[in-house]
Amino acid sequence: MPFTNDRIVLISGTAHPELSQAISAELSVPLANAHVGRFPDGEIDIKVYDDIRGADVFVLQPTSPPVNENWVELLLLLDCLRRASAGRITAVMPYYGYARKDRKDEGRVPISAKVVANTISGSGADRIVTVDMHAAQIQGFYDIPVDHLYAKPVLMRAVRALAVDNPVVVTPDVGGIKMARSWAKALGADLAIVDKRRISGSEIAVEHVIGEVGGRNVIIVDDMISTGGSISEAAHIVRREGARQIVLAVSHAVFCGPAVERLDGCPADRILATDTIPRRGRSPRNLELVSIAPLLARAIHNIHRCESVSSLFDDTP
């Protein structure tokens, strides 16, 4: 059933105000007048001043670090909008926190991504928009529509502008093969795989590279850089095996713990990432951010107009 209310409302949480402003500018829709603050004890204080009754409301809030803080803020925003009689509520989560905990891979652990889904649905979201969720099957944790966007066209434009000669696309682990294959196909490039073993949340070991990288220019693609272990070790091993230029292209620059030091110490010539997560503190020396705002704005526009979202992608993986 198409949603027919003509009024589009954008509400920003506090996770990433710069991205919210950029989306608002792309759409020429001002951010709604709202207060999202903290009470003296740290509890979240929300008040929406605009009348949003019946409107098509989009809440802009990546659940990036501090994940728990941004997640609860999103839940309270959703609850607020539902109680204020919004016509339809879409949670726009450019980065989806807890997506790496999508299954019970050992005894006595939670499936955190399911808890996130339960609470977001339960707090009033009618629809989700997200970008490169670590595990696409999380969509099935929801009984509402999930528009899963890909950062690849945005990053691909930046990579093409570098005119890298005869590149090899490398994935830092076997889990990234699908993404790397779609990059290789789009660039007409070869594919190589780093054989990675995770030792702990921040430590990994790489054994060898499957595929030829010696004397070649390399583009290492991944959905995220968290502590930087996977991608920096991948960069080190391809350089040891004789790679020439090394470009990293990632959707989400989480950059926690030792990430910046690891990236500064790795042989990557360029690091391309989107701005799904706000940059706070020091960035790696060769980081180039590309904006995801135009893609999110197009998706919001199409959702509001009941038009296709998948049409935004040339070759959806």
Binding residues for ligand R5P (CB under 6 A): 172-173, 175-176, 202, 204, 222-230
Catalytic residue among 101, 114, 152, 196: 196
* Geometric angle at alpha carbon 293, from 291 and 294, rounded to 5°: 100
Identity of the residue, 90 or 226, whose beta carbon is nearer to ligand R5P in the bound complex: 226
Peptide bond before residue 66 is cis, with ω within 30 degrees of 0: yes
Q: Find out whether 194 and 206 touch, Cβ atoms under 8 Å.
A: yes
Identity of the residue, 202 or 286, whose beta carbon is nearer to ligand R5P in the bound complex: 202
| Residue 226 CB partners (closer than 8 Å, separation 6+) | 254, 255, 256, 257, 259
Identity of the residue, 24 or 230, whose beta carbon is nearer to ligand R5P in the bound complex: 230
Q: Find out whether 213 and 190 touch, Cβ atoms under 8 Å.
A: no
Identity of the residue, 32 or 184, whose beta carbon is nearer to ligand R5P in the bound complex: 184
Helix or strand holding residue 217 (H, E): strand 217-225
* Pairwise CA distance, residues 180 & 162, whole Å: 18
- Closest distance to ligand R5P from the beta carbon of 89 (Å): 30
* Pairwise CA distance, residues 205 & 225, whole Å: 16
* Pairwise CA distance, residues 249 & 231, whole Å: 10
Which pair of structure tokens corresponds to residue 203? Answer: 């430590």
- Closest distance to ligand R5P from the beta carbon of 65 (Å): 12
- Closest distance to ligand R5P from the beta carbon of 141 (Å): 18
Identity of the residue, 224 or 260, whose beta carbon is nearer to ligand R5P in the bound complex: 224
Q: Find out whether 215 and 242 touch, Cβ atoms under 8 Å.
A: yes
For residue 75, give the nearest of 39, 116, 19, 16 by alpha carbon: 116
Identity of the residue, 7 or 181, whose beta carbon is nearer to ligand R5P in the bound complex: 181
* Pairwise CA distance, residues 55 & 6, whole Å: 7
Handedness of CA 303, 7, 16, 36 (dihedral sign): negative
Phi/psi region, residue 69 (left: phi>0; alpha: psi -120 to 50; beta: rest), is alpha
196 is catalytic: yes
For residue 80, give the nearest of 113, 47, 57, 44 by alpha carbon: 47
Tell me which residues are annotated as active site: 196
